[in-house]
Amino acid sequence: MHDNQGTNRLAARLALAGIKRRRAAGATHVSYSALNRKLRGDRPLSAADAQRLNQLAVRGHPAPKESP
């Protein structure tokens, strides 16, 4: 069993903000199914992806990617 309380809250934040998972997947540059696996806790969610999804939920659009 996975400890996915954080991803559950993140998924809820996105839903409450009216952000569809397909849009969230595009914002993190992963496939829709990969995002679902990450939000279910089947795959690890990187800190960078979690931050981008949080910003998407708060702002309604993703923050720009950092340049190397």
Q: How far apart are CA 25 and CA 23, in angstroms?
A: 5
Q: Quick check: 52 and 28 in contact, CB under 8 A?
A: yes
- Count how many Cα atoms sit within 13 Å of the Cα of residue 44 in the half-sphere of its side chain: 3
Q: What is the pTM of this model?
A: 0.76
Q: Could you read off the pLDDT of 10-62 as tens digits, one per residue? A: 999 999 999 999 999 998 899 999 999 999 989 999 999 999 999 999 887 65
Q: How confident is the model at residue 1 (pLDDT cuts 50, 70, 90)?
A: very low
